[in-house]
Chain A
Amino acid sequence: MPPHSVPDTRSETPAIPAELERPQLLEMYRYLRLTRVLEERLVALYRQSKVIGGLFRSLGQEGESVASAYALERGRHRDILSPLIRNLGSMLVMGARPIEILRQYMAKAEGPTGGRELNVHFNDLEKGYLGQISHLGDMVPVMAGITLTFKMRGEPRVGLVYVGDGATSTGSFHEGLNFAAVQRCPLVVIAEYNHWAYSTPPEKQFAVKDLADKAKGYGVHAVTVDGNDVLAVYAATRYAVERARRGKGVHFIEVKTYRRKGHAEHDDQSYQPKDEIERWAVENDPVDRYVKQLVANGWAEESELAEIDQAAKDEIDQATDACVNDPLPQPETALPGVYAHPPAAERLWFRGL
């Protein structure tokens, strides 16, 4: 069972749960705020046609992205996670920089993939994140393979992979989770029950009540957690990660949360009841709840949080200014890098006419 926070009645300030220190609480807050501000900037850029292609917000889910990633051992050549499009927060935690994300979204030549992929589909394996491809569920087998090598080499490293409630329907999810379970890979699976897979609600997606029920079918340790309780998610992930690191195999954490925006920015969410969205926004926003918790428990001052807010805005402004006018890639840069050898694809004859 994950540890609970037991209020210390002897002192005025309750003890911070899950062995966290105050600076860490503030650091997590910074990542939450940065995620939200960056996404709002991305929306503005999208509406100015600077972000091309789709934009997928994680509004309402930032808590579980940041908190789960924060529970990993970060740094070069340590733990590795594989984010989905709504896990921007987790990438920031692992060291992705806002300017990289902006450049990637705006298809800039200097972006992490040179304009070849969109959204947050990019990676830095040394820092510890492996961007997804659009085929949901595919990252589970891949992370099974990555964590298999940790085991083969006897390294105390752990992998973490996110899946949405829709992704748990795919064949790749099933095969990957089964494979990892059988091989006892050090893999933590965060299943984000956010109620909506595009326009498909849970009752049309699966016949179980909780995603954790599915996981039991694979013989893996599974729990369900309030996804909008930052510290609860952190504690549960920390627990699972440490067990996996000790060789206890795959762990499955279902986080209950809610997708407050449409599938993408061009989706008007007409299938989502407006009052439902409203209720989650008002009563159950992960960032608001965290702020209340920090302040109420005396773990942070409002002024500190306001400073962090401002710093986040400034950081995003600077990052945007630094790259918004950068050029798009030169056309012929489309040809190299398909193989290690030969170095570039052939330019076709009619382009030379």
Chain B
Amino acid sequence: MARVDVLMPQMGESIAEGTLSKWLKKLGDDVKRDEPLFEISTDKVDAEIPAPTAGTLVEIKVQEGQTVPVQTLVAVLETEKGAAASAPAPAAAPPAPKAEPAQAAKPAPAAPVPAAAVTAPVPRPLSPVPQSSSVPPKGDGAETAEERLRRRSTPLVRKIASEHQLDISQISGTGFAGRVTKQDILGFIERAPAAAAAPTPGTRPPAPGVEHPAVEAWPGDRVEPWSKIRRITADHMIMSRRVSAHVASFFEIDYTKVALLRARFKAAYAERGVNLTYLAFIAKACAANMRKHPVINAAVSGDSTIYRRDVNIGIAVALDWGLIVPVVKHADELSLLGLARAINDLGERARTKRLSPDDIQRGTFTITNPGGFGPYAGIPIINQPQVAILGVGTIEKRPKVVTQDGSDAIAIRTMGMLTMSYDHRVVDGADADRYLADVKAMLQDFPEQEM
């Protein structure tokens, strides 16, 4: 026995509904295949609708005089034969998206090596930006197109500025309305390698006068001059260790519960386009406990401590060409899902060089995670001008003593070290340890409602 649906048909392309004008059979009647079952009337035509199979009329869903949209279930027949489809077989579920993505915004990986400085032509009086200018003023109109152009320039120049962490408005421009051109910014970079970072709020403080002593090269050695990003990193590392009183605390975390939650929820998160990593849990625990320990989320300025209002957590990403720290803004306001998604997104954009200058500014705390092949524990260098940085040691199964009902046993647990380097000028040992204890407690007994 099988049930067969009878639907309100579509008689004509523009017809959206039909009125059931008359039932020709009643409940319990037997019908032959193609025998008229009921009459309908539409804007264009009246018609008798035949039964799709032989069977018995067992359900009537639409009454005489009722008007229903096309494809509405009108009646149900019960047939002798098995497996008569109830509706035209729907298309099989579409296949998983194939590997070939459309050629959308996927810039080529290698950044062009800055060309040798091009002598720009003597700027003559510029003709005004044409009527159909491609730089329309945005938003409130308080900023003119020219002002915006001056501040933001073009995609290419913004890209170069982001890679070198430059503030465009600090560079002089020879283009329209004083716009910084490609030649202008490349020339700037060529001429001033040491002062690459402009001292605007949110960017790293400059590392003036950092000198790296010269060393003799022996025959057969390969001498590679530093790239810009290597230079900036090197100067920063030296400066940071000079400026902050670096101390480190080590905490061992039992991630077993996190591992279980991760295993359970990984697929559900993946369905929403999010890769759920340990790092997301760690970032969540760090963000959630930050407001209870404001000195961890601070900066030192002269002889004052600046307690930051926002919790912006930077996630260090190691790229082929150097280190970069994109920032998750307002990390304490994000759910675990939101945090995981933000981390995924920043990592992806860092790898494909699509970070904006805004993405790497105004961090208040940093997490550095070497990942699966990293060390048991490390001692990271503080990311100035912050006062603390958390290093994530490798996470793996290790033996641990557990006490159950008073007796001790060795259990296999998922364990990992967390190392926080902090600035002892303003963060005391107790401050650091109390914070880490809270982070540890949350991780070891991660609340399921956060999932």
Touch test A–B (CB under 8 Å):
yes
Interface residues in chain A, defined as those with a beta carbon under 8 Å from any beta carbon in chain B: 40-41, 44, 46-50, 52-54, 106, 262, 264-268, 324-332, 346-352
B83 to chain A, nearest CB (A): 8
Bound-complex Cα distance A351 to B104 (A) = 11
Query: A48, B7: Cβ atoms under 8 Å?
Result: yes
- Mask: chain B, 101-140; 1 = CB below 8 Å from A; 0 = not: 1111100000000000000000000000000000000000
Bound-complex Cα distance A265 to B15 (A) = 13
Among A106, A264, A327, contact of B91 (Cβ-Cβ < 8 Å): A327
Query: A47, B95: Cβ atoms under 8 Å?
Result: no
Which residues from chain B contact A264 at a C-beta distance below 8 Å? 12
Interface residues in chain B, defined as those with a beta carbon under 8 Å from any beta carbon in chain A: 6-7, 9-13, 15, 34, 44-50, 52, 70-71, 85, 88-92, 94-95, 97-98, 100-105
Name the residue on B nearest A270 (C-beta): B45
Query: B91, A331: Cβ atoms under 8 Å?
Result: yes
Bound-complex Cα distance A38 to B102 (A) = 44
Residue in B70, B85, B102, B104 with the greatest tally of chain A CB atoms within 10 Å:
B102
Q: A50-B88, A349-B104, A352-B101 are in contact. Are A44 and B46 (CB under 8 A)?
A: no
Bound-complex Cα distance A246 to B357 (A) = 82
Counting from the closest, the 10 A-B pairs by CB-CB distance are A266-B12, A349-B104, A349-B102, A268-B45, A49-B9, A352-B101, A328-B91, A325-B85, A44-B50, A44-B34
Name the residue on A nearest B10 (C-beta): A49
Besides the contacts A50-B88, A349-B105, what 7 more A-B pairs have beta carbons closer than 8 Å?
A40-B34, A49-B88, A262-B45, A264-B12, A325-B88, A332-B98, A352-B97
Among A46, A52, A327, A349, contact of B92 (Cβ-Cβ < 8 Å): A327
A-B contact pairs, 15 of them (CB 8 A): A40-B34, A41-B34, A44-B52, A47-B9, A47-B11, A47-B50, A48-B52, A49-B88, A268-B44, A325-B88, A326-B89, A327-B91, A332-B98, A352-B101, A352-B102
B86 to chain A, nearest CB (A): 10
Name the residue on A nearest B6 (C-beta): A48
Among A265, A268, A327, A349, contact of B89 (Cβ-Cβ < 8 Å): A327
Which residues from chain B contact A325 at a C-beta distance below 8 Å? 85, 88-89
Query: B49, A48: Cβ atoms under 8 Å?
Result: yes
Which residues from chain A contact B48 at a C-beta distance below 8 Å? 47
Bound-complex Cα distance A130 to B102 (A) = 36
Q: A265-B11, A327-B92 are in contact. Are A347 and B46 (CB under 8 A)?
A: no
Q: Total contacts A to B, CB within 8 angstroms? A: 86
Which residues from chain A contact B7 at a C-beta distance below 8 Å? 48-49
Query: A47, B49: Cβ atoms under 8 Å?
Result: yes
B88 to chain A, nearest CB (A): 5
Query: B102, A346: Cβ atoms under 8 Å?
Result: yes
Bound-complex Cα distance A255 to B160 (A) = 77
Which residues from chain B contact A53 at a C-beta distance below 8 Å? 13
Query: A330, B49: Cβ atoms under 8 Å?
Result: no
Which residues from chain A contact B70 at a C-beta distance below 8 Å? 49
Query: B89, A331: Cβ atoms under 8 Å?
Result: no
Which residues from chain A contact B46 at a C-beta distance below 8 Å? 268
Which residues from chain B contact A352 at a C-beta distance below 8 Å? 97, 101-102, 104
Bound-complex Cα distance A106 to B91 (A) = 13
Query: A329, B34: Cβ atoms under 8 Å?
Result: no
Name the residue on A nearest B49 (C-beta): A47
A334 to chain B, nearest CB (A): 11
Which residues from chain A contact B91 at a C-beta distance below 8 Å? 327-331
Name the residue on A nearest B35 (C-beta): A44
Q: A266-B45, A267-B44, A349-B104 are in contact. Are A328 and B9 (CB under 8 A)?
A: no
Which residues from chain A contact B90 at a C-beta distance below 8 Å? 327-328
Bound-complex Cα distance A144 to B91 (A) = 40
Bound-complex Cα distance A329 to B369 (A) = 47
Name the residue on B nearest A317 (C-beta): B33
B85 to chain A, nearest CB (A): 5
Residue in A47, A52, A264 with the greatest tally of chain B CB atoms within 10 Å:
A47
Name the residue on A nearest B34 (C-beta): A44
Name the residue on B nearest A107 (C-beta): B88
Which residues from chain A contact B9 at a C-beta distance below 8 Å? 46-49
Which residues from chain B contact A332 at a C-beta distance below 8 Å? 94-95, 98
Bound-complex Cα distance A264 to B44 (A) = 11
Bound-complex Cα distance A350 to B70 (A) = 30
Among A40, A327, A330, contact of B95 (Cβ-Cβ < 8 Å): A330
Bound-complex Cα distance A267 to B45 (A) = 6
Which residues from chain B contact A50 at a C-beta distance below 8 Å? 52, 88
Q: A325-B89, A330-B91, A352-B104 are in contact. Are A47 and B47 (CB under 8 A)?
A: yes
B198 to chain A, nearest CB (A): 36
Q: A266-B45, A346-B103, A349-B102 are in contact. Are A330 and B94 (CB under 8 A)?
A: yes
Bound-complex Cα distance A332 to B103 (A) = 17
Query: A106, B101: Cβ atoms under 8 Å?
Result: no
A329 to chain B, nearest CB (A): 7
Which residues from chain A contact B100 at a C-beta distance below 8 Å? 347
Bound-complex Cα distance A328 to B89 (A) = 7
A353 to chain B, nearest CB (A): 9
Bound-complex Cα distance A255 to B135 (A) = 67
Q: A47-B50, A106-B88, A330-B92 are in contact. Are A266 and B11 (CB under 8 A)?
A: yes
A47 to chain B, nearest CB (A): 5
Which residues from chain A contact B105 at a C-beta distance below 8 Å? 349
Bound-complex Cα distance A352 to B45 (A) = 42
Which residues from chain A contact B6 at a C-beta distance below 8 Å? 48
